[in-house]
Structure 1
Amino acid sequence: MSNLVASQIMAHTDVASRAGSIEKWLAVADICRCLNNYNGVLEITSALNRSALYRLKKTWAKVCKQVGNPLL
């Protein structure tokens, strides 16, 4: 699942759509947390912490801080 999340985010070519995709996956991780699916939360957060995604400084700057802070 971690590969799926990372590839779905990296498939977007522009910064704004990548940021939107990150916000979507953060929302999915929050839903997983509410359902006590901690394995899903761990898979999504490990994908977001991969070096290929972590280095996207301009993309992370566009991610809504209210969405991004609780999980990362």
Structure 2
Amino acid sequence: MATPKSAVYAASKHAVLGFSNALRMELAPIGIHLTTVNLGPVNTNFFDNADPSGKYRQSVRRYMLDPHKVAQKNCKKPL
């Protein structure tokens, strides 16, 4: 989803989704499946730089994912 102050970020996300959707269709005939994962906001220092006022972080705080839990989901061994 595009939001104010995120034009380049939103454009890159849309590009990845467009590429992934096209690749999914191209690979389907040979039995290869493709999945994209789009996380919501993750509580990292990204937001300190992206919005120093802290207003965005405050508005999405209840949706923010814990970075350690996200990393844990992607690892076969516990961190």
Task: Tell whether the structures are fold-level matches, with TM greater than 0.5.
Answer: no
Query: Which category describes the TM-score, using the shorter chain as reference length?
Result: 0.3 to 0.5
User: Structure 1-normalised TM-score?
Assistant: 0.39
| TM-score, normalising length: structure 2 | 0.36
Bigger helix fraction: 1
